[in-house]
Each structure stands twice: as C-alpha cells, then as structure tokens.
Structure 1
Amino acid sequence: MPPARHRRRPRAVRTLLAGAGAIALGLSGLVLVTGTGARAADVDLITNGGFEAGALTGWSCTGGTVQSATVHSGSYALRSTPGAGDTGECTQTVAVKPSSAYTLSSWVQGSYAYLGARGTGGTDPSTWTTSAGWAQLSTGFTTGPATTSVTVYLHGWYGQAAFLADDVSLVGPGGPQPSQSPTSPSSPSPTATATATGSPTATATATATATGSPTGTPTKPPGLPKHVLTGYWQNFDNGAAVQRIGDVPAAYDIIAVAFADATATPGALSFTLDPALSSRLGGYTDAQFKADIAAKRAAGKRVVLSVGGQNGTVSVADPASAANFADSAWSLMRTYGFDGIDIDLENGVNATYLGQALHAVAAKAGSGFVLTMAPQTIDMQSTGMEYFKLALNVKDVLTIVNTQYYNSGAMNGCDGNVYAQGTENFLTALACIQLQGGLRPDQVGLGVPASTSAAGGGYVSAGVVNAALDCLAAGTDCGSYRPGTTWPGIGGAMTWSTNWDASAGSPVAGTIGAHLHAMP
C-alpha cells in the first residue's frame, strides 16, 4: 500500500457559526483613477449617477437612501446598509450597443463596496475596495453581439457596515447612431492608474503600482476551453483503478498529478513515480510517463503537478522557502513537461510567501503557465481566510480554484444560510462566496468526489453537478437556493479522482465533461 500521506481519508467535520455574521471578510483594496479616456462617440449612460436628484431616481435599491452628510461631489450621495440576508444592492439597467466597449466607474467609501455589471454577454466585470475615504473603482467590459442592455450594480456585504457611493458613470457608445465604432483604431482608449494591495483586473491601458503581489491583466492559458474539467491522477494504488496518464479520458482538460513530495530543504519539492503503481501497470517508466504527458499536451490538454494532499507537509513561510519552492517546481516542470502547479495543501498556507513563490514560477514559465488550487470548503468561507487571500494574491496568474465541496459537513452559503453537503444548494451557495468575493467566474470550479468511495461524505451524482453548473451559469435547474445573478463564464468542475471515476464507470468524464464542453 502507498504511504498514508498519499491517501485521502475523511476529515473530521468542522463547524462554522451560522448566519451572515460568521462571514468575516478581509478583502484587499483596489483603487483606480480614470484618466483622459472618453471617445468622441461616448456618453455617460447612467441616470442620476451623482444622486443630485435628491432621490433614488433611476435606481432600484434594497436598503439605499440619498444623504447629504458625506458626498464626493455635489450635494448628495448614496448610502446603503446591508442586512443579515442581503448586500444592500442598488442597480440600474441601461441600454447599450452590441459588441461595444464600456468603462464603468464610481466613487465609493466604506467597508466592502462592490461595483460591477451583469448581463454583458461576455465576462461580467466586478471590482471592490474597502476604504475609510473616497476611492474610485473602475472596470470595463465589451458587450456581446446580441446584448442591448446591462445592469450596473453597487453593493456591500452581508451584515457589514453601510457604504457610500457617488458619481457613478458608465461611459460608452450611446444614442441611435454613434459617430464611430468604439473599437476603431483612431479612437483613443481610456487610460487608468491603479493602486492595489491585491491582484486587480482592469481593462483599458493601465499602469499599476502594487504594495502586494504583482499585477496585470489575467487571462486563461491559451488553448483551454471556456469550461474546463480537472481530474486528479493518483500516483499510488489505493483500491481505485490504476491508470497511466495516457489512460485518462480525453474529457479531462487539466490533469493534476498527485502528489509532489516534500524534501529536507524547506519549501523544496521532489517527484518520483510510485514503484508499487509502476509494478501494477506492468512497469511504468519515467520515459513512458513523460511521453504520456507530452501526448496529452499535444492533444491540447494540460498536466500539472499537485502539491499537498491531506497529509502534505510542504511549507512555504519565508523568503528562503519561497525561493526553494519556485526553483524546485520549475525544475520538475522542465524535467517532466508539467504545464504548471496545483496547490492542494490542507494543513495551512502562507498567502504572502506562497504567493511570492507562485509568482516566481509563473514568471519563469511564461504565458502558458497553469495554476490550479483545491482548497477545503472551510478555507474559502471568507476572504479573510489565508487560502482565499492566496487565491486573490495570485489572481493575475491563477487558472482555476476547484474547492473541495466534500468531507466538510454543513457550511454557510453566501446568503447567510447553512447548507448540508451532498446537495445542489451546497455547491451553488458556497461557490457564490468566491464569485462575489473577488475571483473571476472562470476562476471558480466545483470540486466533487467521483464516487462514494472517493470521499467520506459529500458525494453528489453527475446530474446534480450539471444542474449546479447550469444554475450558476444561467439561473436554470436551481435548487431552493437561487443566486441573484448568473455567471455564464463559470470555470468548470474537478473530481477526485480520474482513477475513482474509472472505477465507477466514468460518470464524471462521460456526463459532467460532456455537459461542460456543451455549455455556451
């Protein structure tokens, strides 16, 4: 049998206080200051963006009022107070033109103020800050070919203090006949200057100054589909079907090789094919393993080396161990042909130093680098938790976070209610926390066990997973929990493991994989 550290056993159920008060956010701030920018054909499409009507004319709010005590400009500004079960959201739906570029901005003040747009027909933008004084949020998007309206929103967070907003604008082509295309080369692009403590995303030409991790415009590695299926491949034999990398079905877009080994050098990694597995496979050599990885890559798949597992002991907690991690990870990537790294550390992470290490690996690897994560459910309950901080710190190089929605017991959803594992509501209401907490939709995936044998609890059928994906992406097939918005760009799904999936008759590859790849 393989060493115990390689085997995923049921974890003790951890409990979390019910209610919205249990979610203690700790978002990093993002402030952008808009420069010259607007094109000749552009107009501000927001009605009453400065709230100078002295009322909420044009806006629909759950807990908002217009006040004059604290304003950014003029005489009035919005004040909205979230409740235990809502975020104090204010929205406005505006007419837009298809296939056109828009810049959205607002001045905000207070804890956990969010700005974004829904129904853009592409990737819906969202940004946030927490600031004691007025700070400007700005983001942008391009409408889809059939999009004629979008909904702009401002909101805070459940049970948190009130936030203020003023001078909201949505700048882009307006009127029945704009004088020129918003994407015309002769039209100057909006410019922005950004100051960030996290890893923001900005559209426009941007100059960034960071006090935290490096910044940039993150993109998915080239060649991956819109919705990806990730599967862990077991480098050990624990009763599941044994496989070569070449045996993993083509439905898996990302294959995570489990696991890298710790060494005597703090932070450093090593990897060795398990001799017992090799024997079961009739002699699986390093050369064959490398050839299988190369063949998967040639077929458009990605293969990453997973670090951790339930008993993984790799620790990156200072500059020296961060450098050791980066150097050894890059060496293994070159030796075996891995496309990147998966972080599955289940005994604590240091967001600062592991973030530095991952950025160093990404810098060595370049644009094709794949970074995946598989935190436990409890690790992603709020942005104040270290694993969530890590995800936000490396957002600029992060491919997808596939939270393990199993082996956890009941947990809080983003609406403040408690949901039992092994249900559609558990998947959708907990994924919503990440979607509202700062990750892009394409960076959020649903991690599920391939069978009842693969985890101690939390198994759901492939059909339930597909329903949860549809609920998050399109608002259809939802359970009793229905999110207030949709995320058509939802990242995908993950399973532990490709081996257990094969043992069960491949429901993940055959049913979930097919569904993901058919989603618009």
Structure 2
Amino acid sequence: MSFTAAVALAVAGFLAAGPPAAAADADLVLGGGFETGLDGWSCSAGSGAVVTTPVHGGSSALRATPAGQDNARCSQTVTVEPDSAYTLTAWVQGAYVYLGASGTGTTDVSTWTQSAGVWKQLTTSFRTGPSTTSVTVYTHGWYGQPAHFTDDLTLVGPAPGGPGRPQPPAVPTGLSASATSSSAISLSWTAVPGATSYTVYRDGAAPLSVTAPSATVTGLAASTTYTFRVGAVNAAGESARSAPVSATTTSGGGGGGGGLPAHALVGYLHASFANGSGYVRMADVPDSWDVIDLAFGEPTSVTSGDIRFRLCPVTECPNAESEAEFKAAVKAKQAAGKKVLISIGGQNGQVQLGTTAARDTFVSSVGKIIDEYGLDGLDIDFEGHSLSLAAGDTDFRAPTTPGIVNLISAVKTLKARYGPGFVLTMAPETFFVQLGHQYYGSGPWGGQDPRAGAYLPVIHALRDDLTLLHVQDYNSGPVMGLDNQYHSMGGADFHIAMTDMLLTGFPVAGNTARVFPPLRPDQIAIGLPATPNAGNGHTPPAEVNKALDCLTRKTNCGGYQTHGTWPALRGLMTWSVNWDRFGGGEFSRNFDAYFPGAAS
C-alpha cells in the first residue's frame, strides 16, 4: 500500500468514527427528592428534616427552619466535569427561599423567590472552570423567617469521567452490617479495584472516611436501627453509593461507655455527706437508677487539683455502711448493669486546674478514687467559679484559658487510661451552657461574667468521649431559646427549649465559630430536681411528661416548637436519689411509667 493510500484510509477512518463522544448528561444530585431522608445532605445547625407534607413529587420533601443567626442552609457536594455547562433546578416554597451553587471555578450562581404556601420552580445555570471537579449545591432560607420547603432538586449536565479522563471507582457491593454492642455496629464490603478510600454514610450523620473495606461505627444509641451506605473514592472522585443496609444495636446493660439502656435514669447519691433528705445505702438504691453518681469527690484546695472522696462517717450518717459493704454493693450494682461514677465538684467543691501540675494531680487523684472503689467513670459537676473564660478566649473550638485547656487534657488522659468502657458525664448549669447563646464570657446584667457559656469549649472538645450531658435545668434564671423568647424553669417549655438547643445546635454570642454543633440524642438527659425541696425549678410529673412527649414524639409541644424529633433521647437526671426517696419515689416512678422496662 502506498503512503498516500494509507493516509487516505486513516483519514477516512477518523471521519467515520467522528470526534470523541461528550459525556452524557445526567442528574448528579443524590437524594434530591428526599425520598431516602437526608442521605447526602448536610444542614446547618441541624435545621433540616424530611417531611411528608407538603411535597411536590414523591412522598417526601425537605423542610429547613432558620433559627437565630442560622439561615437553615442544606447543601451537597457533587462531582462534576471541568469546563462543562450545568443546570440547577428545584421546586420550593416559603417566605424566602434561595437556590445556588458555589465552588464552580467560574462565577458562582444563586437565585431566590418568595412563594409562601405554593410550589414554585427555581432554575439557574453555570459553567465549571477548566480544573473544577466538584461543586456545592445548596438551598437556604432567611434569618428570622419561617421554615421553607424544597423538593425535586436536580443538577443536570455531563456526568464526570468523560473520554480520556480518570473514572471514579465502581459502586461498592457486598455491604453487610452487624451490631457488636449497644453502641457500635461493624461494617464490611467487597474491596473496589482502584479505590484509595471509602466514605461511610449513616442516616444524615457526618460521613466517615476509611481506607480499608470495613469500619466500626461507634457512639450509637442502644436498641436503635441505623442505615448505612458506602461510596468508593479515588483521585477522579467518588462513586455512587452502595445499596443501603441496616442493623440494630443491642440493648443496654453490661460494660462499656455506651452500655446504658436506650432510656436511662441518672441520679446523684449523697455518699459523702448528710442533709435533710436522709442517707441511702448503696445496696438500697432502687433498680430504677441506671447511673449512680457518687456525690462528691472534692478538692483539698481550689487550685491544687487534688481530689479526695470519703464515705459519710457514722457520726454524720448513723446508718451508713462500712467501706467493705459499700464496695460490695458497687460491684452488685455493676453486675446488674448499672454504672457507678465519682462526681467531682458540686456546689461547694470549687476546682480550678490553672496549671499543668494541678492537671496531673487531678488525673492521679481521680484515678485513685476510681481504682479504690472499682468505679465505671467520672461525672464533671463543676459549678460556681470552677470554669471561667479568660479575656480574649472567644472561640469555643480553640480555647486558650489554662483551666479549661487543662481540664480537657485531664479528662482525655483518664479516658485513654481506662479505655472505651470509661463512662463520662457532665452536669453543668444552664448558665455555663445555653446562656452562651446570649452571652459568651460576658454577663447579662451589664458587667462581665466569664462563666457564661464557659462549659461549651469543654463539651465541644470532649463530645466524642462524652457518654451523657445532663444540664441542670434548675436553679436558673430565664434563658432565651432558639425562638428568641425567654423561657423560665418549672414547666415543660423550659426543658423543651433548653434540650432543643443541645440537639439542634445554636449560635454562640460573639464567637467566631458562630454555631455550637448539636449533640446526639443518646448523649442527652434532662436534669431536674426530684422534689420541691431539692432545688428551685421543680417540675411536676405531668410537665416532665409533656417535655418528653414533645422531644421524642413531637406531641404536647405547647408554646415551643422543636427543630426535630428525637426518640433516642437518653432520659432524665435528677438531684437526687436521696431526695427522690424523701419524696416517696415520685420522680423515679414517673420515669419507669413513661419508659416501661427501662430499668430491666
């Protein structure tokens, strides 16, 4: 064949084949119809929820509710092709609803409408930059406005991985899940060729990145069903997600930091002192109590970090048991699945860990108490001026106050020493937590009070280690909720509003981080006085039940509407076991009636 003929054939072949095919257009958004919950979506401050009415298509839609300084932004990051045209569309309704895309590599776009009560379509288009491989699509409302709704959100354009470009991995297959405890589920799947990592998705929670084709997801609630999906990742992006698989954690009881029943009752036992409530021997603590906090381990001085615990002497508590009897009773409670903790602080036990020496002494002395009595963990009950923010300590994500930094370090050291079975609880007052929404390190009465919100950096730094947070919803002044209204203790609304803040997240006054992230519902117990004698803010059982109805079932919500429904809310805490017995056991009986079988 001549050179001319060869060239002619080559050209003819090229013309017959045509230019390389463009990537086919596709809808790249995952779960834009919200038929599988919030899978794939992240909503600021826990503002998003899936509802069944109103809907535009299918059976579900997104409702997102702005609160405080949050505009209820729900977003998803999508893998795209560089230098390609995309069209973003959604059906929305609300007073103000925005739709947009960021990170386009060219000009980011957004559009908005006012369409209360009527579905309206929003559409906008953009072109990606020459090196852009992902964009973030979002919808949000506006500050101080009612909830808005979004449905059938799509991003249509070329699917990633065009001709000659690296392709994302294949979809993982073979996903299986099994519960390993009341707080953990193990996952495994078939390894995907070419994948460098995997992303595990669970029920709208923050994604978990792993490098092996397996993972153990911890920090879960007992007796709760969770659904998982997995995506495979390489340099070209992430695959579509696997088929879902579900597993249910085991019931509570036994060892482990998460070894609590699905609904738990926490009570303080006056182990080291006597008062008008009367002494209760450890062996006589009723089975209703799942967590028993020994009150109190106290410091030898405010700044030493040296914590000591003694049983109430018979001169003060004539019916007190001996040390040997007490230790045997602790073991018996643990054998029955109960947790017994040493509580540090209390109203009169001021603890300030201002130096590393005090920190190390705290770790050593608390460890001795735990070892001496064979306890399950630690309750932090710092009150008064134990925690105060130093001037200039404005970001709860990165505290600089030595006493706060040292406390975090000390607790992490104890957690590492005793392992995953270590139970960590905290019992701050609302002043130290929710009041951070209004004042962070400054007082509400015109002067500076560095205690306002001072627990927030501690809770945030230890949130992955925290078994339970039971804020004292008593001995408190009025506190502003996420509805920007003040709520006063003693009724259901106060407990609903304070708990909703913890489960939704809330803006922190004057803080560069803006929003304190929500905690898991299984980490939250509501703190109340057992009787009117036990503290200001006693709440009658009927009002306690209204609060539980609203938070776990979205019924009986009264004047405050929550930002979600949390059936996995852990339970209640009270001051105290002794005062409950003094009051004829009304508090614990009401808990047992509301959560039948919780103490079994």
Whole-Å separation in 1 of the counterparts to 2:296 and 2:143: 37
Whole-Å separation in 1 of the counterparts to 2:375 and 2:139: 41
Residue 487 of structure 1 and its aligned partner are, at CA, apart by 1.4
Who is 2:473 aligned against? Answer: 405
What is the SS of the residue equivalent to 2:549?
Answer: helix
| Cα distance change on mapping 1:180 and 1:336 into 2, 3 Å | same
The number of residue pairs the alignment matches comes to: 384
Who is 1:146 aligned against? Answer: none
What is the SS of the residue equivalent to 2:410?
Answer: helix
Query: Is the CA contact 1:351–1:393 (under 8 Å) kept in the aligned structure 2?
Result: no
| Cα distance change on mapping 1:77 and 1:271 into 2, 3 Å | farther
Residue 488 of structure 1 and its aligned partner are, at CA, apart by 1.8
Residue 313 of structure 1 and its aligned partner are, at CA, apart by 1.6
Query: Is the CA contact 1:249–1:509 (under 8 Å) kept in the aligned structure 2?
Result: no
Instruction: Provide the TM-score with structure 2 as the length reference.
Output: 0.57
Instruction: Provide the TM-score with structure 1 as the length reference.
Output: 0.65
What is the SS of the residue equivalent to 1:386?
Answer: coil
Residue 278 of structure 1 and its aligned partner are, at CA, apart by 6.3
Alignment of 1:400-479 (within 5 A): 400-437=468-505, 438-455=518-535, 457-479=536-558
Who is 1:325 aligned against? Answer: 362
Query: Is the CA contact 2:68–2:483 (under 8 Å) kept in the aligned structure 1?
Result: no
Whole-Å separation in 1 of the counterparts to 2:142 and 2:421: 35
Who is 1:315 aligned against? Answer: 352
Query: Is the CA contact 1:472–1:483 (under 8 Å) kept in the aligned structure 2?
Result: yes
| Cα distance change on mapping 1:203 and 1:334 into 2, 3 Å | farther
What is the SS of the residue equivalent to 1:368?
Answer: coil
- Could you list the per-position Cα deviations for residues 196-229 of structure 1 after superposition, in whole angstroms to 9, with x for gaps in the alignment? xxxxx8553448xxxxxxxx95456243111211
Who is 2:29 aligned against? Answer: none
548, 568, 586: which is aligned to 1:507?
A: 586
Whole-Å separation in 1 of the counterparts to 2:475 and 2:502: 19
Q: CA RMSD in A?
A: 4.1
Residue 71 of structure 1 and its aligned partner are, at CA, apart by 4.1
Residue 417 of structure 1 and its aligned partner are, at CA, apart by 0.8
Query: Is the CA contact 2:266–2:573 (under 8 Å) kept in the aligned structure 1?
Result: yes
- Could you list the per-position Cα deviations for residues 288-333 of structure 1 after superposition, in whole angstroms to 9, with x for gaps in the alignment? 1111111110000001011111121222233222222122111111
Whole-Å separation in 1 of the counterparts to 2:210 and 2:526: 32
Who is 1:65 aligned against? Answer: 98
Who is 1:352 aligned against? Answer: 405
Residue 61 of structure 1 and its aligned partner are, at CA, apart by 5.8
Whole-Å separation in 1 of the counterparts to 2:478 and 2:460: 25
Residue 413 of structure 1 and its aligned partner are, at CA, apart by 1.3
272, 275, 287: which is aligned to 2:324?
A: 287
Who is 2:308 aligned against? Answer: 270
Whole-Å separation in 1 of the counterparts to 2:155 and 2:369: 49
Q: Which moved more, 1:496-505 or 1:468-477?
A: 468-477
Whole-Å separation in 1 of the counterparts to 2:519 and 2:568: 12
1:191 partner amino acid = Y
Whole-Å separation in 2 of the counterparts to 1:79 and 1:387: 40
Whole-Å separation in 2 of the counterparts to 1:256 and 1:191: 41
Residue 73 of structure 1 and its aligned partner are, at CA, apart by 5.3
Who is 2:270 aligned against? Answer: 234
| Cα distance change on mapping 1:472 and 1:504 into 2, 3 Å | same
Residue 388 of structure 1 and its aligned partner are, at CA, apart by 1.8
1:474 partner amino acid = R
Whole-Å separation in 1 of the counterparts to 2:316 and 2:142: 53
2:379 partner amino acid = D
2:587 partner amino acid = V
What is the SS of the residue equivalent to 1:260?
Answer: strand
2:260 partner amino acid = L
Residue 80 of structure 1 and its aligned partner are, at CA, apart by 9.3
Whole-Å separation in 1 of the counterparts to 2:496 and 2:85: 35
Who is 1:255 aligned against? Answer: 292
Greater relative contact order, per chain length (Cα 8 Å cut-off, separation 6+): 1
What is the SS of the residue equivalent to 1:409?
Answer: coil
Residue 79 of structure 1 and its aligned partner are, at CA, apart by 8.3
What is the SS of the residue equivalent to 2:361?
Answer: helix
Who is 1:341 aligned against? Answer: 378
Query: Is the CA contact 1:446–1:493 (under 8 Å) kept in the aligned structure 2?
Result: yes
The answer to whether the aligner puts 1:491 opposite 2:570 as a matched pair is: yes
| Cα distance change on mapping 1:516 and 1:355 into 2, 3 Å | farther
1:423 partner amino acid = G
Whole-Å separation in 2 of the counterparts to 1:446 and 1:342: 15
| Cα distance change on mapping 1:51 and 1:206 into 2, 3 Å | farther
The answer to whether the aligner puts 1:301 opposite 2:308 as a matched pair is: no
What is the SS of the residue equivalent to 1:322?
Answer: helix
Larger radius of gyration: 2
| Cα distance change on mapping 1:157 and 1:228 into 2, 3 Å | farther
Who is 2:208 aligned against? Answer: 204
1:255 partner amino acid = I
Whole-Å separation in 1 of the counterparts to 2:289 and 2:406: 31
Residue 353 of structure 1 and its aligned partner are, at CA, apart by 1.6
Whole-Å separation in 2 of the counterparts to 1:514 and 1:452: 21
Whole-Å separation in 1 of the counterparts to 2:142 and 2:335: 45
2:465 partner amino acid = V
Who is 2:48 aligned against? Answer: none
Residue 511 of structure 1 and its aligned partner are, at CA, apart by 1.1
Whole-Å separation in 2 of the counterparts to 1:387 and 1:344: 11
Q: Which moved more, 1:285-294 or 1:311-320?
A: 311-320
- Could you list the per-position Cα deviations for residues 362-382 of structure 1 after superposition, in whole angstroms to 9, with x for gaps in the alignment? 111111111111111121113
What is the SS of the residue equivalent to 1:397?
Answer: coil
The answer to whether the aligner puts 1:391 opposite 2:459 as a matched pair is: yes
Whole-Å separation in 1 of the counterparts to 2:356 and 2:142: 35
Percent identical across equivalent pairs?
Answer: 32
| Cα distance change on mapping 1:280 and 1:24 into 2, 3 Å | farther
- Could you list the per-position Cα deviations for residues 119-139 of structure 1 after superposition, in whole angstroms to 9, with x for gaps in the alignment? xxxxxxxxxxxxxxxx999xx
Residue 65 of structure 1 and its aligned partner are, at CA, apart by 2.0
Who is 1:141 aligned against? Answer: none
- Could you list the per-position Cα deviations for residues 469-511 of structure 1 after superposition, in whole angstroms to 9, with x for gaps in the alignment? 1211110122221213111211211000000100111112111
Structure 2: unaligned runs, 5 residues or longer: 1-66, 71-75, 114-133, 146-152, 157-170, 177-187, 212-216, 222-256, 388-402, 441-452, 506-517
| Cα distance change on mapping 1:67 and 1:352 into 2, 3 Å | same
